[in-house]
Amino acid sequence: MNNKTAVIIAGGLNTRINMIKPLINLGGKQLLIRIHDVLKEIFSEIILVIRQNQDGEIPDLGLALKMYVIEDEFPNKGILSGIYSGLNSSINEEVFIIGADYPFLSKNFINYMSKISEGKRSIFIKNKEIINPLHAIYTKSEWQKIFLKNLNSDSQLSPKQIISKSKSNNLEFINFSKIKEEYKESLFDIDNLEDLKKAKQIITRKGHAIRPDIRPEGV
């Protein structure tokens, strides 16, 4: 385990699914616990970002899992503020940003991304021309400044737009089509009820609640 930070963005309003996604029980485990079980094997620091004044089970569960729980520094700014807040709070330069709705994270794939980064390069997944700002590695010193400038701007861009317009020489894109099939499920997220149904089907097909590469001790 090296000096690397993982940030879980969990402040969403869940308007498209009408469920608290980090608390969804999938294969006998809540999503937030499934994610944490993978990240704790890789990262020396795990930060959970929530909305300002967000009460309830999510921050309590984060604290129980010994995460560093913080609030968005810029309220009502969505994922842009969540990513910035995580970067700003990180004690490490290499920061892996993930949403709280990725049930099948692969330790091997995240380590593969980290190996490319070496703590010096930001790594993003691109599917055709669509850039995913989550399941991504950011270098704190560079992106913290870029996101803060945008948050203070009158015409704010989305994280996807910010990344696509970046002139940085220290970023690299991984083409989704070139990713090994065994790693692609790591990029699956639950955005709606149809995705949740598919996730349950994947669990059933595998015959176990946990993928072999993220199975916790004792299972």
Residue 51 within a domain: yes
| Residue 21 DSSP class | G
Question: What residue has token string 């490319």?
Answer: 116
Residue 153 within a domain: yes
For 17, other C-beta atoms within 10 Å of its C-beta total 17
Residue 76 within a domain: yes
Task: Specify the pLDDT at position 212.
Answer: 43
Residue 157 within a domain: yes
Task: Specify the pLDDT at position 57.
Answer: 85
Higher pLDDT, 206 or 176: 176
Residue 84 within a domain: yes
d(CA 133, CA 187): 12
Predicted confidence band at 15 (pLDDT cuts at 50, 70, 90)?
low
Length of the chain as a residue count: 219
Q: Give pTM, 2 decimals.
A: 0.89
Residue 99 within a domain: yes
Residues facing residue 50 across a β-bridge? 71
Number of alpha helices (DSSP H) and beta strands (DSSP E) in the chain = 8, 9
Stretch 58-87: mean pLDDT, rounded?
Answer: 92
Task: Specify the pLDDT at position 9.
Answer: 95
Q: Is the dihedral of CA 210, 214, 216, 219 positive or negative?
A: positive
Task: Specify the pLDDT at position 207.
Answer: 66
Stretch 32-57: mean pLDDT, rounded?
Answer: 91
Q: What is the CATH number of the domain that holds 7?
A: 3.90.550.10
Q: How many domains does the chain have?
A: 1
Burial pattern 141-155, b for ≥16 Cβ within 10 A else e, equals ebbbebbeebeeeee
Q: Is residue 57 within 8 Å of 20, Cβ to Cβ?
A: yes
Residue 198 within a domain: yes
d(CA 144, CA 194): 34
CA distances from 66 to 60, 69, 71, 148, 218 (A): 10, 9, 16, 27, 20
Decide if pLDDT at 82 tops 90: yes
Work out the burial of residue 32: count CB atoms within 10 Å of its CB; fewer than 13 is exposed, 13-18 middle, 19 or more buried: buried
Residue 219 within a domain: no
Domain of 205 in residue numbering reads as: 2-214
Question: What residue has token string 């990344």?
Answer: 163
Task: Specify the pLDDT at position 214.
Answer: 43
d(CA 116, CA 94): 11
d(CA 216, CA 211): 10
Predicted confidence band at 120 (pLDDT cuts at 50, 70, 90)?
confident
Tokens of 159: 């994280």
